[in-house]
Amino acid sequence: MPSVSVTHCQSYDPEEVRDGVRECLDHLGGVKKFASPGDRVLLKPNMLMAAPPERHVTTHPAVIEAVAELFIDTGAEVRVGDSPGGSFRNIEKFWRATGILDVAERLDIELINFEASGSYIMGGEGYPISRPVVDSDTVVNLPKLKTHSMTIFTCAVKNMYGAVPGFRKADYHREHPGPSEFAEKLLEIYLLVNPALTVVDGVVGMEGNGPSGGDPRDLGLLLASEDALALDVYIPLLLGMDPFRVPVNEAARRRNLAPDPSDIEILGFGAEVVDDFRWPSNIYYTLDLLPSGLARALMKLWWSRPAIDPERCRNCNVCVESCPADALKSGALVPEFDYSSCINCLCCMEVCPHRAFYQDKSLLYRLTSLFSGVLK
């Protein structure tokens, strides 16, 4: 029976977070269960973009610092690493903006650039997995609890996608544009990395059209488990949604890997169900609500796609460089879309530092969304 440890944590006050993380891990047997003196421990946060902590787009530095301190106290050698989109240009900008560089300097720990560290080719599909990830004795997964406009929910399993360095991540988006098939890739990469522990930053999560353009939502939770899939099943349930509407969870269920919600043992804080959490609108899953024949006939008139708000756009071209389908080109005022090439992966929305992207929807799409109601 998988266990999920839950702790109530109302703020990012360092002492409160430290106490909350310690309590969370104590429910699972304590930090010494996961590392011994001299072990190489790699912390893998969500460092999606060079955004400050108050945007609540990335794993909060207070959570990273609390986890790092606990492992340092065991005598382990702690490092922090990730491979966010666009970081090939200047990863120090990401470390600094997210507050992770300050943590590293205070604790004297190494920051690892996955882009410059090489990779091992692993699994039957030949996935490149960053060498520091594979070479570590313990991988600790530190995701942020957020919605995602393509995959509905991004947390424990999807955070391991950053173990793939470089442009191969963009290739997988292009080669597998549908949420279900992309979820299979996410699951396979997670299974290859197989983190020993996952600690979720849910103190302030993100609702609406995440993972970068949504709205912060106070949830006051820290969660931890040895089983990332248990977390990804339990958290949507806690937020009022069928967890198997999340493509990664459904992919895991098809392989008999996802736990039944009734089999998950909850340790610690008994959080109440959040019944007004806002999930993203999603073209693929609203489609499921229509009769199949009608859906096929109306698809040409029923669409949702990324678009750019010219008042927010600074024409920095981060989206152009990160687009896996080459559907964006530099323009005089804002980048220009070639929608015939767009695969609707929303990578542009993920990496935009100015929140300039939104989802443009056809009239028919808006009408059917109103008719079907909020995704549950």
Enter the pTM of the model: 0.84
pLDDT score at 200: 98
What pLDDT is stored for residue 373 in this prediction?
Answer: 42
pLDDT single digits (tens) 46-89: 998 889 999 999 999 999 999 999 999 999 999 999 988 665 56
Q: How far does Cα 203 stand from its chain's mean position?
A: 15
pLDDT score at 13? 98
Mean residue pLDDT of the chain comes to 89
Annotated domain spans of the chain: 3-268, 283-372
Q: What is the pLDDT of residue 91?
A: 86
Among candidate residues 286, 251, 288, 276, the one with its CA nearest the CA of residue 375 = 286
> Count of CB atoms within 10 A of residue 265's CB?
13
> Residue 99 — left, alpha, or beta (φ > 0 → left; ψ -120 to 50 → alpha)?
left
pLDDT of residue 375: 40
Nearest CA among 104, 103, 89, 87 for reference residue 47? 87
What confidence tens digit (pLDDT) does each residue in 168-180 have? 877 887 787 778 8
How far is the C-alpha of 18 from the C-alpha of 192, rounded, in Å?
Answer: 30
Question: Which residues of the chain register pLDDT less than 70?
Answer: 85-89, 281-302, 364-365, 367-376
What is the DSSP secondary-structure string of 128-158?
A: EEEHHHHH-SEEEEE-EEEEETTTEEESHHH
The torsion of the CA quartet 197, 203, 208, 212, rounded to 10 degrees, works out to: -70
Distance (Å, whole) CA 337 – CA 323:
10
**Per-residue pLDDT at 374:** 39
Angle among Cα 115, 187, 171 to the nearest 5 degrees reads 45
Distance in Å from the first CA to the final CA of the chain: 26
What homologous superfamily does CATH list for 3-268?
LarA, N-terminal domain (3.40.50.11440)
Q: Which architecture does CATH list for 283-372?
A: 2-Layer Sandwich (3.30)
